[in-house]
Structure 1
Amino acid sequence: MLSGMTVGDGVDYVRVVFRLPDDPAGWHSFGTERMWAVRLDETRVRLDNIPFHARDVACGDVLAVEADDDGALWAGGVLESSGNCTIRVIPADGCLRAEVRQAVLDAFEPLGVDGEGSRTGLVALNVPASGDIEETKATLAQGHADGLWFYDLGSVTEQWRTATPALLDRNPSDPPPESYGLAFPDDLAACVYNTVASGERPALVVVHDPEGDWIIGDGSDDPLDPDTATLVHIQHVVDADSAVTELAAMPPGKLAWRNQPADPWTIEDFAYPDESETDRPAR
């Protein structure tokens, strides 16, 4: 039997593994992608996710699957097309900010297009066969022409290909911006001020100290001690303020600050005044 998860309505969900070819354009650096699907029988599933990276497949497609010796289900070819299209968009500026990715989703939602954003900066869109394909293509092309985003046609139908307007011959349209793909390690913890951890105040100062530790403060002059800060998984901070992800590549010995959450980060050199200093770093 294939391993899976049966929910209350009797639908049997399974995880399917897709092999990903090398991507010299830089839109992904992964070897596989795992997605949820609804099991139809031992050899067929219906995909129930929008692919972030797998090509030539769309949400709702019926796929062939084969289990390996460890029970993992590997995706084969498409047996029945859903008629849906998979389009991927990376905002040209601020792709790591959740509000920027949401703006992409908002631009396409009135056209009957749904989607999902990744914290690494990509937005995956599902264009249903019943959606306004011509207007979706026009919106996609205009956003690219205006410098708002880059796009990749992951899986398109003949209906999409014949609809106007025509799009660029190259696919993806451009390499992603340098910030795309930045992320903190999954197991990274930071010393976070309690006011930031609780959501009372925004993160305004981020330190990556010379020893490699991360400190996230609220911009106040309160000292860093057990009464003012605690060790928190950094993803907790990122979930509340995705702009912190923009600092994931900041090297040790640097400090980033801003006056307001909407402001860009200013990055400066950082060093403790002396080895015995325990107060919170301040700018």
Structure 2
Amino acid sequence: MTPTTDDDVDYVRVVFRLPSDDSGWHPAGTERIWAVRLDDQRVRVENIPFAARGVAAGDILTVTADEDGVLWAGDVVEPSGNCTIRVIPVEGCLRSGVRKAVGDAFEPLGVEGEGSRTGLVSLNVPGGADLTEVKETLEQGHADGLWVYELGSVTEAWQAASPTLPATNPSDPPPADYGLAFPDDLAAIVYRTVLSGEAPPLVVLHDPDGDWIVSDGTHTQPDPDSAALVHIQHVVDNDSSVLELANLPAGRIAWRDTATDPWTIEDFSYPAE
């Protein structure tokens, strides 16, 4: 999330080092988080962290600039009283609608959430929230098989509130489709009806030559009038369920009848000439 521009506020990016993580939740080595510079040595965190532990939105922490001017996170010196809880839906975590449903479950409790395209929803639990109700909602969703969770940063008040959550943190490994992403430079032939949002992507082909074609399912041959070569992220921005196919091998085709149906994957080869 990029903060709203304000000429009177000095927004900066702060880099957090992430410890080695065998859980599968956070494979990266660093996370960059927006903050407001308070002085040369302190910032206030503006984002809900997606990976960094021990920090929450609103915390004030020390920073150190390296020789390139990059700000590296230090210690929290003034906790905000907020908690950071991270949730991954078990089914359909790459679908934006599913991630939104997680946020909707906590919003009535005064908890804000932000979803990432890798499948994770990061929640900011204010210090004034009913922590018992938040914990009950978190654990009930886990018990019902709706999501798995990680406690990114919790306060003494959180720990003292009932119910007592299991000691395992994260609660479980992430689901298999968590973290899938297309290569940054991947281009695809995409039907213009899909690009415009007029029709959903119903057929995704990763052909034997390694090319990607995203179709509306009309089975017409792509040409300059009906399709365009674009970055596949444009398709994902319109329909995040396409991310579920990021690992589709060459020589496979995925199809569905409607945008809400699961993908069916089959072998594909061009007819012999």
**Does the pair score TM above 0.5?**
yes
- CA distance in 2 between counterparts of 1:224 and 1:9 reads 48
Residue 186 of structure 1: CA displacement?
1.7
Q: Is the 8 A contact 1:207 1:214 kept in 2?
A: yes
Question: 237, 240, 244: which one pairs with 1:239?
Answer: 237
Q: Deviations over 1:179-217 (max 9, x none)?
A: 000011122111001111111111100000111110000
Q: Is the 8 A contact 1:63 1:77 kept in 2?
A: yes
Partner of 1:228: 226
Q: Is the 8 A contact 1:44 1:65 kept in 2?
A: yes
Cα pair distance change 1:6/1:145, threshold 3 Å? closer
Matched, 1:10 2:8: yes
- CA distance in 2 between counterparts of 1:6 and 1:260 reads 37
Unaligned runs of 5+ in 1: 276-283
Match of 1:134, SS?
Answer: helix
Q: Is the 8 A contact 1:61 1:78 kept in 2?
A: yes
Partner of 2:249: 251
Identity among equivalent positions (%) equals 69
- CA distance in 2 between counterparts of 1:162 and 1:6 reads 35
TM-score of the superposition, structure 1-length normalised?
Answer: 0.94
Partner of 2:127: 129
Partner of 1:278: none
Superposed CA RMSD in Å reads 1.2
Structure-to-structure mapping, 1:170-249, within 5 angstroms? 170-249=168-247
Residue 6 of structure 1: CA displacement?
10
Question: 55, 68, 72: which one pairs with 1:70?
Answer: 68
Partner of 1:26: 24
Question: 85, 96, 99: which one pairs with 1:101?
Answer: 99
Stretches (4+) displaced over 2 A: 5-9
Matched, 1:272 2:270: yes
Residue 8 of structure 1: CA displacement?
3.2
- CA distance in 2 between counterparts of 1:248 and 1:7 reads 34
- CA distance in 1 between counterparts of 2:153 and 2:118 reads 21
Question: 137, 148, 163: which one pairs with 1:139?
Answer: 137
Residue 225 of structure 1: CA displacement?
1.5
* Structure 1 stretch displaced more, 53-62 or 224-233: 224-233
Residue 274 of structure 1: CA displacement?
3.4
Unaligned runs of 5+ in 2: none
Partner of 2:151: 153
Match of 1:211, SS?
Answer: coil
Cα pair distance change 1:12/1:172, threshold 3 Å? same
Cα pair distance change 1:8/1:171, threshold 3 Å? closer
TM-score of the superposition, structure 2-length normalised?
Answer: 0.97
Q: Deviations over 1:109-155 (max 9, x none)?
A: 00000010010000000000011211000000000000000000000
Partner of 1:118: 116
Q: Which amino acid aligns with 2:84?
A: T
Number of residues of Structure 1 aligned to a counterpart in Structure 2: 271
